Amino acid sequence: MQTVQWGIIGCGDVTEVKSGPALNKVPNSTLVAVMRRDGAKAADYAQRHHVPKWYSDANALINDPEVNAIYVATPPDTHELYALQAIQSGKPVYLEKPMALSFAAAQRIAAAVKERNSKLVVAHYRREQPLFKKIQQLMEEGAVGTIRLARMELYKAPLSAAELQQPQQAWRVNPAIAGGGLFHDLAPHQLDLMYHYFGNVKTVKGIAINQGGLYAADDLVTGSILFDNGIAFSGSWCFNAAATTDHCEIVGSSGSIHFSIFGGNTVTVIAKGITSSYSFEMLQHVQQPMIEKVVQYFRGETHNPCAASEGAEVMRLMEAFTS
């Protein structure tokens, strides 16, 4: 594969800035076709982003001979369907998070990848962002000693009545489409980082409840993980809170690392009475570092930056927290 020629299934909001433009900006990559069930919206996206082709049928895009890689960017309820169709076609896949509606669906996708000897990357793109790579580097260098535990808090105000009437917001709290609520939309990024940093999981448990009753999905989730290496994790997610919090702390034997997952660009290290900070530029296209790695992987130049089996493990953790 000399040039990765992308086709996007589901050219919605996530592809406008976060990912879509990056497909034309990384080396050996170009966006040649997009698909959306609403043909007028697909045509509009293609016109605005200078994409040569657009479709209203996913199979037509998948079978386009000029498309040699598929980016599935639909809501989670169709991830399994389109991923399996793309795998069957023999084309590599970049699959949005959460990987699927359920752990069982994610397992089916992973099994198909293995059976067909295909290439699939799950879009846990924070793995490749400089800020989160720096955190990994700090831990590997022993900046805070031996890692003992990590704790995470994400609190947000409830969606307003007006927001719940907006289709681009409402689907995120519809379990039939999203697999759950805002936890299922946001926590995959967070839990994947913990899994990426700390490795295999020994035990996991959690609690989930719908406190606000504003929609069908749970709005409060807590969970804990013990990793095989003895590191403990605890997390709390509340989407019916007055205060807004987005904080993660990794505690070591000689200090701690502090950062936010969604809102900040600074990592703070407190160790042996000294505070150090590392700041990073905000990325124009947040998925670009991951997409560059995906293109390299599809071209056979590097390893898989987030395999299907890893995406499935994140789904397993989410279900353990919420089931």
Q: Which residue has the tokens 């205060």?
A: 243
Q: What is the pLDDT of residue 318?
A: 97
> What Å distances lie between residue 116 and 87, 110, 272, 286, 323, CA to CA?
7, 10, 52, 30, 31
Q: Average pLDDT in the 253-277 region?
A: 96
CATH number, span 130-282:
3.30.360.10
Q: Average pLDDT in the 238-244 region?
A: 93
Structure tokens at 186: 């946001």
Q: Average pLDDT in the 144-157 region?
A: 97
Of 2, 46, 38, 39, the residue nearest 20 (C-alpha):
46
* Domain chopping of the chain, boundaries: 4-125+288-307, 130-282
Of 51, 45, 55, the residue nearest 12 (C-alpha):
45
Angle CA(196)–CA(292)–CA(246) in degrees, nearest 5?
Answer: 45
Computed over every residue of the chain, the mean pLDDT equals 96
Rounded to the nearest angstrom, the gap between the alpha carbon of residue 27 and the centroid of all alpha carbons in its chain is 22
What's 4-125+288-307's CATH class?
alpha beta
Q: What is the pLDDT of residue 196?
A: 98
Q: How confident is the model at residue 8 (pLDDT cuts 50, 70, 90)?
A: very high
DSSP 44-112: HHHHHTT-SEEES-HHHHHT-TT--EEEE-S-GGGHHHHHHHHHHHT--EEEPSS-SSSHHHHHHHHHH
* pLDDT tops 90 at residue 323: no
Q: What is the pLDDT of residue 264?
A: 87
What digits encode the pLDDT tens for the residues 121-140?
999 999 999 999 999 999 99
Of 214, 220, 211, the residue nearest 174 (C-alpha):
214
Distance CA 156, CA 246 (A): 9
pLDDT > 70: percent of the chain: 100
What digits encode the pLDDT tens for the residues 16-50?
999 999 999 999 999 999 999 999 999 999 999 99
Mention every residue, 6+ apart, whose C-beta is less than 8 A from residue 309: 110
Q: Average pLDDT in the 220-225 region?
A: 98
Q: What is the pTM of this model?
A: 0.95
Q: How confident is the model at residue 285 (pLDDT cuts 50, 70, 90)?
A: very high
Q: What is the pLDDT of residue 167?
A: 85
What digits encode the pLDDT tens for the residues 167-185?
888 999 999 999 999 999 9
Of 4, 5, 17, the residue nearest 52 (C-alpha):
5
What residue type is 317 in one-letter code? L
Distance CA 21, CA 199 (A): 32
What digits encode the pLDDT tens for the residues 288-311?
999 999 999 999 999 999 999 999
Q: What is the pLDDT of residue 263?
A: 86
Q: How confident is the model at residue 208 (pLDDT cuts 50, 70, 90)?
A: very high
- Cβ–Cβ under 8 Å, residues 120 and 96: no
* pLDDT tops 80 at residue 275: yes
What digits encode the pLDDT tens for the residues 66-115?
999 999 999 999 999 999 999 999 999 999 999 999 999 999 999 999 99
| Residue, of 60 and 323, whose pLDDT is higher | 60
Q: Report the 10 Å Cβ neighbour count for 266.
A: 12
